[in-house]
A = this chain, B = another copy of it.
Amino acid sequence: MPEIRKDPVFGRWVIIASERGLRPNDFRGAPGDHVCPFCPGNEDLTPPVIYSLPGPAGGWRLRVVRNKYPALVSEGAVDNRRDGIYDSMDGMGIHEVVIETPEHGRVLEEMPADAVADVVKTFMLRIREIKKDPRIKYVMVFKNHGRNAGATLQHPHSQIIAMPMAPLRVKQEIDGAAEYHLERGTCVFCDIVKEEAQFRKRVVAENDDFLAVTPYASRFSFETWILPKEHASHFETMPEDRAGALAEVLKTTLGKLSASLSDLSYNLIVHTMPVKEAESEHYHWHIEIMPKLTHVAGFEWGTGFYINAVSPEEAAEILNAGKTYKV
């Protein structure tokens, strides 16, 4: 069983999960060496299906399964254990995989808008289901696309990890937003939407409901955030009919990123409120997309500072002009 350990200095949690080392990797060995566990016909290679949407001819168009090499597992207690001067607990949680399409080589931005909206609705549905478990405090939805972003399988998929505590970074982000709200009486994300919609030098995509921007303090070259224009803390309670609008902005954003950046690798993360917490005036869910063009190095690890060689204004200009950027 995985174990969660706490760093005694920093308070950060680490999951020690030896099973993860066993997972297959499309990016090692010769191409074509591997059988894809996410392709139709190979359903017996994944754990049983949790949720699926029917496709044409009796097949499926989307499947959710438990991760076969989970970082966290559903058994186990949520009590702290002492281990000398250290703290640990069972690696309790949920780890699911959303197989976004039956087509192995089809990337998200090339899928029909309806199919992307299905992926969004599936994320929301799974969070609403998972948060019924009283032990679960946070549900994180994320997608690693491409080798440099840490993906081990090429077939389009996302992951959902539910855990028994709100992670440090999530707390820090919410605390930061709360502090801004205390000082100025407004939601920082609402202010970002207002500022960016007016300044217009960092806008990458927009419709009535969402705004995609390269953020002012982008950590990574071509980093892009998608923000709902209407204030809301929880992603999973978004009105279902807005999934189409989000899918549209997501498709445009990823389409621009992959047009300008060859062999695009990215991490996409849904930033949302811990599931047990009430709506708040200061926190506003959003999606962060971080293209991985270079490796994060010692300076970033040591400081939490980032060095970015492409300003967000330059990045937005390149993306909107459809220019190619050479790393």
> Interface majority SS on A: helix, strand, loop or mixed?
mixed
Q: Hey, which chain B residues are within 8 Å of A304, CB to CB?
A: 12, 167-170, 172
Q: Given A10-B176, A86-B216, A219-B14, does the pair A159, B310 have CB atoms closer than 8 Å?
A: no
| Residue among B5, B217, B269, B288 making CB contact with A217, cutoff 8 Å | B5
**Interface core residue of A296, A302, A314 (most chain B CB under 10 Å):** A302
9-residue interface stretch from A34-42, A48-56, A118-126, A143-151:
A143-151
Say if the beta carbon of A71 comes within 8 Å of chain B. Answer: yes
Number of interface residues of A (CB under 8 A): 82
Q: Which residue on chain B has the smallest CB distance to residue A179?
A: B11
9-residue interface stretch from A15-23, A73-81, A231-239, A253-261:
A15-23
Say if the beta carbon of A228 comes within 8 Å of chain B. Answer: no
Mark interface residues in A25-65 (1 if CB within 8 Å of B CB, else 0): 00000000000000000000000000000000000000000
Q: Report whether A217 and B85 are in contact in the complex, using a CB–CB cutoff of 8 Å.
A: no
For chain A, residues 111 to 149, give those with C-beta under 8 angstroms from any C-beta of chain B.
Answer: 138, 140, 142-144, 147-149
| Residue among B5, B267, B309 making CB contact with A18, cutoff 8 Å | B309
Say if the beta carbon of A177 comes within 8 Å of chain B. Answer: yes
Say if the beta carbon of A263 comes within 8 Å of chain B. Answer: no
Oligomeric state, in copies:
2
Q: Report whether B296 and A85 are in contact in the complex, using a CB–CB cutoff of 8 Å.
A: no
Q: Given A297-B267, A298-B269, does the pair A21, B310 have CB atoms closer than 8 Å?
A: yes
9-residue interface stretch from A96-104, A191-199, A204-212:
A191-199
Q: Hey, which chain B residues are within 8 Å of A306, CB to CB?
A: 12-15
Say if the beta carbon of A215 comes within 8 Å of chain B. Answer: yes
Q: Hey, which chain B residues are within 8 Å of A6, CB to CB?
A: 217
Q: Which residue on chain B has the smallest CB distance to residue A295?
A: B150
